[in-house]
Amino acid sequence: MIKKKDLSKEDRKIWENFIKDPSGIYDKDKNNQKTVRRERFRFDLHGFTLDDANKKVKEILFFCIKNKYKELLLITGKGLHSTSDKDAYISKDFGKLKFSVPEFIRSDLEINKLIISINEANVKDGGDGAILIKLKNL
Protein backbone atom coordinates (compact mmCIF):
# COMPACT_ATOMS: atom_id res chain seq x y z
CA MET A 1 0.00 0.00 0.00
CA ILE A 2 1.31 3.41 -0.97
CA LYS A 3 1.06 6.19 1.54
CA LYS A 4 -0.43 9.43 0.21
CA LYS A 5 1.41 12.66 0.65
CA ASP A 6 0.35 14.93 3.45
CA LEU A 7 -1.74 17.90 2.41
CA SER A 8 0.02 21.18 2.02
CA LYS A 9 -1.08 24.09 4.21
CA GLU A 10 -2.57 25.78 1.16
CA ASP A 11 -4.60 22.69 0.16
CA ARG A 12 -5.79 22.21 3.74
CA LYS A 13 -6.95 25.87 3.89
CA ILE A 14 -8.83 25.53 0.57
CA TRP A 15 -10.47 22.32 1.79
CA GLU A 16 -11.55 23.85 5.11
CA ASN A 17 -13.04 26.87 3.32
CA PHE A 18 -14.92 24.57 0.97
CA ILE A 19 -16.37 22.54 3.85
CA LYS A 20 -17.66 25.75 5.46
CA ASP A 21 -19.61 26.71 2.30
CA PRO A 22 -20.07 23.99 -0.37
CA SER A 23 -22.87 25.93 -2.15
CA GLY A 24 -20.84 26.32 -5.34
CA ILE A 25 -20.98 22.60 -6.10
CA TYR A 26 -23.49 21.42 -8.71
CA ASP A 27 -25.79 18.68 -7.38
CA LYS A 28 -26.27 16.31 -10.30
CA ASP A 29 -28.78 14.20 -8.39
CA LYS A 30 -31.04 17.15 -7.60
CA ASN A 31 -32.30 17.47 -11.19
CA ASN A 32 -32.69 13.71 -11.62
CA GLN A 33 -35.07 13.28 -8.70
CA LYS A 34 -38.59 12.38 -9.71
CA THR A 35 -41.37 14.32 -8.07
CA VAL A 36 -43.19 12.09 -5.65
CA ARG A 37 -46.95 11.88 -6.14
CA ARG A 38 -48.85 10.76 -3.14
CA GLU A 39 -51.81 8.53 -3.68
CA ARG A 40 -54.80 9.80 -1.74
CA PHE A 41 -55.81 12.50 0.73
CA ARG A 42 -58.86 11.76 2.89
CA PHE A 43 -61.07 14.34 4.62
CA ASP A 44 -64.31 13.97 6.58
CA LEU A 45 -66.93 16.71 6.04
CA HIS A 46 -69.40 15.49 8.68
CA GLY A 47 -70.77 18.40 10.67
CA PHE A 48 -69.93 21.10 8.11
CA THR A 49 -72.61 23.43 6.79
CA LEU A 50 -72.91 23.68 2.99
CA ASP A 51 -71.00 26.97 2.84
CA ASP A 52 -68.27 25.83 5.22
CA ALA A 53 -67.93 22.51 3.40
CA ASN A 54 -67.55 24.23 0.02
CA LYS A 55 -64.88 26.60 1.38
CA LYS A 56 -63.03 23.70 3.00
CA VAL A 57 -63.20 21.60 -0.18
CA LYS A 58 -61.69 24.43 -2.20
CA GLU A 59 -58.90 24.82 0.36
CA ILE A 60 -58.24 21.06 0.41
CA LEU A 61 -58.16 20.82 -3.39
CA PHE A 62 -55.45 23.48 -3.61
CA PHE A 63 -53.52 21.74 -0.83
CA CYS A 64 -53.75 18.38 -2.63
CA ILE A 65 -52.60 19.80 -5.96
CA LYS A 66 -49.69 21.60 -4.29
CA ASN A 67 -48.64 18.42 -2.47
CA LYS A 68 -49.03 16.21 -5.56
CA TYR A 69 -51.86 13.95 -4.41
CA LYS A 70 -53.56 11.87 -7.12
CA GLU A 71 -56.93 11.54 -5.41
CA LEU A 72 -59.08 13.21 -2.81
CA LEU A 73 -61.57 11.14 -0.84
CA LEU A 74 -64.25 13.30 0.75
CA ILE A 75 -66.46 11.66 3.35
CA THR A 76 -69.81 13.44 3.12
CA GLY A 77 -72.18 11.03 4.75
CA LYS A 78 -75.40 9.87 3.12
CA GLY A 79 -77.53 12.73 4.38
CA LEU A 80 -79.75 10.47 6.47
CA HIS A 81 -79.64 12.84 9.44
CA SER A 82 -80.00 16.00 7.39
CA THR A 83 -82.54 18.55 8.57
CA SER A 84 -82.99 20.04 5.10
CA ASP A 85 -86.30 18.16 4.72
CA LYS A 86 -87.89 20.53 7.25
CA ASP A 87 -87.20 23.69 5.22
CA ALA A 88 -89.49 24.17 2.22
CA TYR A 89 -86.97 26.51 0.56
CA ILE A 90 -84.11 24.02 0.53
CA SER A 91 -83.90 21.26 -2.07
CA LYS A 92 -84.25 17.81 -0.56
CA ASP A 93 -81.16 16.57 -2.39
CA PHE A 94 -78.99 19.64 -2.88
CA GLY A 95 -79.17 20.50 0.80
CA LYS A 96 -77.03 17.43 1.41
CA LEU A 97 -73.26 17.47 1.09
CA LYS A 98 -73.10 14.35 -1.06
CA PHE A 99 -74.98 16.22 -3.82
CA SER A 100 -73.96 19.82 -3.25
CA VAL A 101 -70.17 19.37 -2.99
CA PRO A 102 -69.74 17.81 -6.47
CA GLU A 103 -72.06 20.47 -7.90
CA PHE A 104 -69.99 23.20 -6.25
CA ILE A 105 -66.77 21.76 -7.73
CA ARG A 106 -68.26 21.53 -11.22
CA SER A 107 -69.59 25.09 -11.07
CA ASP A 108 -66.40 26.73 -9.72
CA LEU A 109 -64.18 27.29 -12.79
CA GLU A 110 -61.04 27.84 -10.70
CA ILE A 111 -61.14 24.40 -9.10
CA ASN A 112 -62.96 22.54 -11.88
CA LYS A 113 -59.84 22.80 -14.07
CA LEU A 114 -57.86 20.85 -11.42
CA ILE A 115 -60.19 17.84 -11.58
CA ILE A 116 -60.15 14.80 -13.85
CA SER A 117 -63.30 13.18 -12.47
CA ILE A 118 -65.74 13.13 -9.57
CA ASN A 119 -67.27 9.76 -8.70
CA GLU A 120 -69.02 7.98 -5.89
CA ALA A 121 -66.42 6.11 -3.83
CA ASN A 122 -66.10 2.33 -3.78
CA VAL A 123 -67.99 0.54 -1.01
CA LYS A 124 -64.74 -0.09 0.92
CA ASP A 125 -64.01 3.67 0.86
CA GLY A 126 -67.48 4.83 1.94
CA GLY A 127 -69.78 4.06 -0.99
CA ASP A 128 -72.81 6.36 -1.09
CA GLY A 129 -71.40 8.45 1.75
CA ALA A 130 -68.14 9.43 0.06
CA ILE A 131 -66.87 11.14 -3.09
CA LEU A 132 -63.67 10.20 -4.89
CA ILE A 133 -62.08 13.04 -6.83
CA LYS A 134 -59.24 12.30 -9.26
CA LEU A 135 -56.83 15.21 -9.59
CA LYS A 136 -54.84 16.40 -12.59
CA ASN A 137 -51.08 16.02 -12.55
CA LEU A 138 -49.92 19.64 -12.51
For strands 130-135 and 69-75, give the pairing. antiparallel
Identify the pLDDT of residue 12: 83
Domain of residue 125, residue span: 38-135
Overall domain count for the chain: 1
Q: Considering the domain boundaries, does residue 18 fall inside one?
A: no
Order of strands, edge to edge, in the sheet holding 38-44?
38-44, 69-75, 130-135, 115-120
Mean per-residue pLDDT, 105-114: 91
pTM over 0.85: no
Q: Considering the domain boundaries, does residue 11 fall inside one?
A: no
Q: Considering the domain boundaries, does residue 3 fall inside one?
A: no
Q: Considering the domain boundaries, does residue 6 fall inside one?
A: no
Q: Considering the domain boundaries, does residue 13 fall inside one?
A: no
Q: Considering the domain boundaries, does residue 68 fall inside one?
A: yes
CB atoms within 10 A of CB 70: 16
CATH number at residue 63: 3.30.1370.110
Beta bridge partners of 60: none
pLDDT-derived band at 91 (thresholds 50, 70, 90) equals very low
Identify the pLDDT of residue 99: 85
pLDDT-derived band at 89 (thresholds 50, 70, 90) equals very low
Q: Considering the domain boundaries, does residue 28 fall inside one?
A: no
Q: Considering the domain boundaries, does residue 9 fall inside one?
A: no
